[in-house]
Amino acid sequence: MHRSAPVDPTKMGVGKAIAVLTSGGDAQGMNAAVRATVRVGIYTGAKVYFVHEGYQGLVDGGDNIRQATWESVSMMLQLGGTVIGSARCQDFRSKEGRAKAACNLVKLGITNLCVIGGDGSLTGANEFRNEWSELLQILLKAGKITAEEAKRSSHLNIVGMVGSIDNDFCGTDMTIGTDSALHRIMEVVDAITTTAQSHQRAFILEVMGRHCGYLALVTALACGADWVFIPEMPPDEGWQDHLCRRLTYQRKIGNRLNVIIVAEGALDRHGKPITCDIIKNLVTKKLSFDTRATILGHVQRGGTPSAFDRILGSRMGVEAVMALLEATPDTPACVVSLSGNMAVRLPLMECVQVTKEVTKAMAEGRFEEAVKLRGKSFENNWNTYKLLAHVTAPDVKSNINIAIMNVGAPCAGMNAAVRSAVRIGILQGHNMLAVHDGFDGLANGTIEPMTWGYVGGWTGKGGSNLGTKRSLPASMIEEISLNIAKFNIHALVIIGGFEAFVGGLELVTAREKYEELCIPLVVIPATVSNNVPGSDFSIGADTALNTITTTCDRIKQSAAGTKRRVFIIETMGGNCGYLATMAGLAAGADAAYIYEERFGIHDLETNVEHLLEKMKTTVKRGLILRNEKCNANYTTDFLFSLYSEEGKGVFDCRKNVLGHMQQGGTPTPFDRNFGTKMGAKAVLWLTDKLKECYRHAGRIFANTPDSACVLGMKKRATLFQPLSDLKEDTDFEHRIPKTQWWLKLRPILKILAKYKISLDTSETATMEHVIKKRGTV
């Protein structure tokens, strides 16, 4: 990030025009990006144009290029695909076609182009920009444009956003549409799992990804598949026998179901395709298993975008407009993207170059390198999958006992974390112990060993299978230390919310008095509230966010039908406004009240007036979110009464308290994958820590601050941070961290809801290079 002199953002775009188009294959979340581009463009004072039907519309011009208004992007957020249409375009490949496109832009005074599409679409945009001057000369000679028009449009700025469900663009963590495609795939996998278990079947599932195995890989991780075939890493010679051995072993240990995931572009070491039919014939002939194959096809592109894709599209849209308006003729064309949770700008052609290098590495058989070039997140997924896929436990046992517990309120994804922690522990030669019902179970001795099969099928199950309670350990330290000695527990994994963090701290404090508590411990944040210090994300928050967003969609639909109606919805989160804010962004709310951003009667008045104005437009509905503990006096009932009274004769109100439905449900792909990776990382870290803390005669002694950590996701990496170091950054009274990254997104929520507020433009994302930071892409 670099800081510059603040500019008035509402004047940045005055006198400028921006065109937005979607090109190539459609992806869920493109509409969110279009909506944000249009609204933020208008907010800056720029004119914004839709280009319908992708590059074809750019070439054909006329009615295909239309000015967008604030209202024209209303109700777009929850729609899949792209509302402005996309088309494969042959005309744009010829210079003649591109000259026509340039002419259409020049006539409307458009010098900023925002392209949402895959690498082909973005490469085309860059080529268009590079030959812009030449195209203007051609048009001048032919008398199609005047010298004045050519001067006014002397250069073209281009910003790209990657919309592709395959997640095949290097330099970006996630492309728009990938998370939604995973949602569609997991819905099918969950449905297939139940029928396959009834009949003891093997299921082969083909997912999209002609040149990229991301969807297949994450699906395999998220559903605990027995085998995955991806183009980046073909199986070794003799894979047929290996696969049959693994499937047979799974049946032998009592699994009624086998799942094999295949990317549509999967190949063997000789470059020959590996298809569903080839695998089906092999399993049927060799093992006589009842086998079914399902090819998912375009189902993966369909449906409503997930909360993540809507927020990603919205954040990228904001960043794209800023990048266009700050660009100079010397700025290289860039793509806006997310890295971890940070918006970044990357040189377009560097990303395209690395993406092409992956394809080249695969074609030349340099598979290890292809996986590395795909980026850190892909490599981590591959390594975690490899770890969990090996089901043969080592012969040599470590004689280490690691206990796992859930603390606090249940949330989706806890079971995925327990499963991977247990299995990684078994593969390390440890004995894994289940502690039921949180710290109560540790005090009462409800502890039992867990085997490989014990946690089978846990990834897709919501809630907490181990059982969880909110009790803290301080009042039962004596009993806990006795049981740690009795069951000979050498290390502890605590998966839970704020209580897990506080409980961990209490155990560390009690180390002075009880030597039994001098064991390494790790806290994995898992709570819908996302309020654990030391981590930007908690397991379970994504599932809750999607539940709220889906409910808001239905409520908005109802309001759109009745007209002139405002809904007030209360979300969970304790004192943490994460869910209310992010759901506000994902569902297109008019306001989201949270504890962290104090509000008074004046703010409420402004919000009511804003809605009264809104009812005069074509968008006659309102959506207000309220975090459950945002204010002790301005309760949901109070807000409902206030809005009902002030809106009399103009709009009526309804209220909805979402309650515990936010804690339930099957975990989203993100929470399954996140839980799986965090569980694995925690146990691998404990294994190393135990070696450091090993004393003679098999005793473990750990009393340094760094032997009790929170495993958190910070910006772009997962980090282990000592619990004691995080005390400074914690507001214990209100159970929230003192600094929270998502508060920076609040202005975007307000701008997209048409509030005239100031956006801080002094801190902008600098252009980062992809080529030189190869190791950390």
Show binding-site residues for beta-D-fructose 2,6-bisphosphate: 470, 527-531, 565, 572-574, 628, 654, 660-663, 735
> Which residues fall in the annotated binding site for substrate?
164-166, 201, 208-210, 264, 292, 298-301
Q: Is 277 designated active site?
A: no
Task: Report how far residue 326's alpha carbon sits from residue 734's, in angstroms, rounded to the nearest whole number.
Answer: 40
**Per the annotation, where are the binding residues for ATP?**
25, 88-89, 118-121
**Pick from 28, 97, 31: nearest CA to 58:** 97
Tokens of 266: 């999967």
Task: Please state the φ and ψ torsions of residue 416, each to the nearest 5 degrees.
Answer: -65, -40
Give yes or no for a contact between 553 and 712, defined as CB atoms under 8 angstroms apart.
no
Distance CA 676, CA 672 (A): 6
**Set 166, 173, 179, 226: catalytic member:** 166
**What residues contact 351, with CB distance under 8 A and at least 6 apart?**
119, 169, 170, 171, 172, 335, 770
Tokens 């929230």, residue located:
736
Strands 431-435 and 447-450: antiparallel
- Residue 295, judged by CB atoms within 10 A of its CB (0-12, 13-18, 19+), counts as middle
Which amino acid, 371? V
Task: Assess contact for 390 and 427: CB atoms under 8 A.
Answer: yes
Handedness of CA 661, 664, 666, 669 (dihedral sign): positive
d(CA 401, CA 412): 26
Residues in binding site for Mg(2+): 119
Residue 112's beta-bridge partner residues? 18, 157
Instruction: Kindly list the distances between the CA atom of residue 102 and the CA atoms of 125, 138, 330, 349, 741, in Å, as whole numbers in the listed order.
Output: 11, 10, 20, 21, 41
The full DSSP string for 455-477 is: GTT-TT--S-TT-EE---GGGGH
Burial class from Cβ neighbours inside 10 Å (0-12, 13-18, 19+) for residue 476 reads middle
Rounded distance, CA 404 to CA 417, Å?
10
Q: What's the farthest any 2 CA atoms get from each other in the chain?
A: 92
As annotated, the binding site includes 25, 88-89, 118-121, 164-166, 201, 208-210, 264, 292, 298-301, 470, 527-531, 565, 572-574, 628, 654, 660-663, 735
334-339 and 447-450 as β-strands: parallel, antiparallel, unpaired? Answer: unpaired
3-state class (DSSP) for residue 261: strand
Q: How many C-beta atoms lie closer than 10 Å to residue 126's C-beta? A: 18
Burial of 22 (0-12, 13-18, 19+ CB in 10 A): buried
* Residue 408, helix vs strand vs coil: coil
247 φ, ψ to 5°?
A: -65, -40
- The number of helices, as runs of H, and strands, as runs of E, in the chain is 25, 27
Both tokens of 432, joined, read 């894994």
Catalytically active residues, by annotation? 166
